[in-house]
Amino acid sequence: MILKKKNKKEKTNNCLPYVIVGKQSIEKAISQFKKRVKNAEILKELKDRQHYVKPSVERRERKKLRLRRIKTNNDSF
């Protein structure tokens, strides 16, 4: 029996966003759908998957982002 380790990047929510139009206008339904897609971060994931990023490069980018956030938080005081 082989146990598979869970990848940290795996999303637990695999359902796609949807909107039931019903009696509301189409424009309102479209705006709700856009908001749900944005909150689900589907477009961000598509952008990230356009090309392969080596794990070392990904760690480096996360470290740069973390340091930048620390620097901006410390400058505000």
pLDDT digits (tens, 9 = 90+) for 16-62: 888 889 898 999 999 999 999 999 988 888 898 999 999 999 999 99
- If you search the block for the tokens 């206008």, which residue do you land on? 25
pTM of the predicted model over 0.75: no
Domain annotation covers residue 10: no
Residue 69's pLDDT band, with cuts at 50, 70 and 90, is very high
Domain annotation covers residue 3: no
Domain annotation covers residue 68: yes
| DSSP symbols for 17-77 | P----TTS-HHHHHHHHHHHHHHHTHHHHHHHTTS---HHHHHHHHHHHHHHHHHHHHHT-
Closest CA to 40 of 7, 17, 8: 17
Q: Indicate if the pLDDT at residue 1 is higher than 60.
A: no
Domain of residue 65 covers 26-75
Indicate the number of domains in the chain.
1
Domain annotation covers residue 1: no
pLDDT at 16: 84
Domain annotation covers residue 18: no
Q: Whole-angstrom Cα distance, residue 52 to residue 13?
A: 23
The two structure tokens encoding residue 26: 């189409």
Domain annotation covers residue 47: yes
